[in-house]
Amino acid sequence: MTGFRRGVRIGVDVGRARVGVARCDPDGLLATPVETVPRDDLSIGRVQRIAADEGAVEFVVGLPLGMSGHETPSTADARAFAVELARGPLPVRLFDERLSTVSAHDALRASGRSTRTSRSIVDQVAAVVLLQHAIDVEKRTGTPPGTPVPPEESP
């Protein structure tokens, strides 16, 4: 585990209707689902309270780029959410999460759940997928994953 920064991290999958939240243990062994937060004016505060309750050291927010790497309306939405989160006490990193929601749907289907019955948890599973990928990248490379949201971008 060379170069892995120890500490609980919170994975955030930003959607237009819901925000999936996951956490990892301090050693980054396993990401697990925490909660699906309704997307409204209280979302940022709820996600920050979850992080405080979990003793988190950092947020990893999924950055949904198009398959060719181009930005989409969802990318701008995730960036705006990350900037709002960065106004709080914890650092925020944006991490390319292409296919995390697709992977989440695939995993739920493989476990025998239909799309309809999975709707309430698919966002949490997508947050787990992106957070697990981010911590695995950090362990493999020894470099923090993604890009930080600089405090100066969060007036």
Looking up residue 34, the CATH number of its domain turns out to be 3.30.420.140
pLDDT in tens, 49-103: 999 999 999 999 999 876 677 788 889 999 999 999 999 999 999 998 765 555 5
The answer to whether position 2 is within a domain reads no
Task: Give the end-to-end CA distance of the chain in Å, rounded to a whole number.
Answer: 36
Going from the C-alpha of 91 to that of each of 10, 38, 76, 87, 101, the distances in angstroms are: 11, 22, 19, 9, 24
φ, ψ of residue 12 to 5 degrees: the values are -130, 120
Count of the separate structural domains present in the chain = 1
What is the percentage of the chain residues whose pLDDT exceeds 70?
79
Residue 75 tokens read as 């990318």
DSSP 87: T
The answer to whether position 4 is within a domain reads no
The alpha-carbon radius of gyration of the chain (Å, integer) is: 14
pTM of the predicted model as reported, rounded to 2 decimal places: 0.86
Q: What is the dihedral of CA 116, 12, 57, 96, to 10 degrees?
A: 130
